[in-house]
Structure 1
């Protein structure tokens, strides 16, 4: 059997799929970008996360239908090819999705290095490089093995968020009486900051769409994919709102704004043991985000090559690991380059912009499919046409807001 004839294998069940999605959303956003979001929205940062959740939810349901119509790797590229019938757009969208994974991994690896740097006194660049190389090796190991590790890491990082909520409230119970302060008044200056910050907050939800790119490795994708996407978004939204609310009420805004390791600030007055435990959890969470994005981006490159949109050698699957080893190596190299050249805020905003463009085109594809094609086959998760219309409109609106000079 030659390498080119070896295919991916279906091993991912619903629990592993949801933990896969949560691993990148929770690790990428909440552990890294609360500070940068608070710098723009202030105490109203939790509202920015809710705005981003609304935008994401419409597109999430669009993905739920398209992932059951076309359960393949490089899902977004397949959706655009089917809906817009453009080979050029197909390639562009696929490369944009891979780019979002690369840039996101670079951003989160910087966050991971910041948390490690609180414990180990080494150069941030050296720490970032080590994290990326170790994670790249895990991604090559095998889909079941790497996603199982990601699932365990995800459970750890969810525990970390629960620790933030518990410690934040127990250290200052009075914040429960201040929840009303999180409701913003209807003032243009305040809402301009909230909406501007929502583009950064949107980065925190990047991850659910990664589920679409492992569809070829999911057991019973027509049943599992929609549930995986919806559950990932629901759990992430609840977790984000609770954690960000506690953080902005407990941590002084001057300390929080712009911090690369924002959640650690909640534990500054805690004992060494509590702070140390949380730092370890944060390292696991951020490293997990890097791992899952590398897995996703490598599957996109593999899928594009398999669909003959990229050179065929990028579709090579190692017969022992059953992973796209050449595509993974390429992604790891690119993540290393971006992580050592650009700051975390710039990387996060770039990721959000790329993903919003992809979301707009994916929603447009489903609209056209619904208007021009026959009723989908039995077993496809179907949403009303107003769902992709709202998804496309809200994605475009948030994209435009990101370019306005607030």
Structure 2
């Protein structure tokens, strides 16, 4: 028997809980993607690209598609919670580059969560007569508690909210077609003439904002240690999430720009609520609640993703080991979650949503460039891949690299 007061012996360390099935993984990806997407940014894209806003979402989706292929293969080669940082480490074996990647991801995750928080606060403010700063503080605090609750509980919670937010978008699209059935015939008008360079330039610039709406699948790889059968489920989850998000984004953006005055749409702080009210004549209360749920879902999931990046990097020694400690009851990295929550609050309180969305997109594009380069280097070295994983043709990371560089450089070229 063990002496009283002696430390416990042979107690296994807490490990992440492998409990996420393919449906939960897809809901997780959709939750963070849609929560950071159309509910918050349809007005911002309309302000920049006008009637061509739907085309901007398609451009962003194409850029995402090739990088999604690189992520799918790398997640099978290196199934670690550190995700992108682990891939860069394996490719270049340069600690400074690994730490830089992790820092970029952490910054992108917290800035993204802050952008969603600001968007969420805009919807809440239409229902509650509270100061915006107070709404932001409460939203971030509650999301931090949910993220620390436990991965299965958090993802189940996110899955319920995701069902609600997808249903909300489907209702909006259905209402638009019911209100004006001929809208389907008007869809070609959301694509500019190939000779209209001004429109093409506006689409290219707006795609940087639209790109923010697709951020989510890349974060899915950071919960791979908590996913069942990750070699099969992770690539499927990534591609299904991207496909569903693209369809929903294009449809809602098309309905919005074709049926609402662009000036009114672009200046609304709750654009989906405005669209629903105009299409149905019904109080937007219910759809506003759905929008709040969508945005809150995005905050929770971004908090989880960022905390897992800290956990993964600390676990392999790139950050202090204390940040890899898991709570024995919830089996979540509580210290990392608190740090992410505090950072999110700081950004949300002091920066507007447009700036937050653009900076997030730029940070993520830099990371995507590193990821595509990593896969190219690994393929060039001829590193053997484990059996049964998704293998992307070499053209996938090449095109992914080129498209990410082009999107990142677009605004700077436009200025010149």
Is the pair's TM-score, using the shorter chain for normalization, greater than 0.5? yes
In the alignment, which residue of structure 2 is the partner of 1:355? 364
165-174 or 273-282, larger mean C-alpha shift: 165-174
Partner of 1:242: 251
Corresponding residue of 2:343: 334
In structure 1, the residue matched to 2:3 is none
- Any stretches of 5+ residues in structure 2 without a counterpart? 1-7
Residues 173-182 or 87-96, more deviating: 173-182
- What is the rounded CA distance, in whole Å, between the counterparts of 2:118 and 2:93 in structure 1? 38
**Contact 1:33–1:260, Cα closer than 8 Å, also in 2:** no
In the alignment, what sits opposite 2:102? 94
TM-score, with structure 1 as normaliser: 0.97
What secondary structure sits across from 1:119 in the alignment?
Answer: coil
Say which is worse superposed, 45-54 or 265-274, in terms of deviation: 265-274
Give the distance between the partners of 1:130 and 1:75, measured in 2 at CA.
30
Distance 2:188 2:81 in 1: 45
TM score, norm. by length of structure 2: 0.95
Task: State how far apart, in whole Å, the 1-side matches of 2:281 and 2:347 are.
Answer: 34
For residue 4 of structure 2, what is the aligned residue in structure 1?
A: none
1:102 CA displacement:
0.3
Q: Which segment is superposed worse, 344-353 or 220-229?
A: 220-229
Partner of 1:233: 242
CA distance in 1, matches of 2:237, 2:337: 24
Give the CA deviation at 1:172: 2.9
In the alignment, is residue 118 of structure 1 matched against residue 129 of structure 2?
no
User: How large is the Cα RMSD of the aligned pairs?
Assistant: 1.5
C-alpha distance in structure 1 between counterparts of 2:300 and 2:12, whole Å: 25
Residues of 1 paired with 2:223 and 2:198: CA distance? 42
- The number of residues matched between the two structures is 406
Q: Does the Cα contact within 8 Å between 1:83 and 1:368 map onto a contact in 2?
A: yes
Q: Could you tell me how far apart the structure 1 residues matched to 2:411 and 2:19 are?
A: 39
2:205 corresponds, among 196, 199, 202, to: 196
Q: How does 1:80-159 map to 2 (within 5 A)?
A: 80-159=88-167
* Higher CA-based Rg: 2
2:32 counterpart of 1:24 = yes
Which of 390, 393, 407 is matched with 1:384 structurally? 393
Equivalent residues in 2 for 1:312-331 (5 A)? Answer: 312-331=321-340
Aligned to 2:289: 280
Matches within 5 A, 1:29-68: 29-68=37-76
Unaligned segments of structure 1, at least 5 residues: none
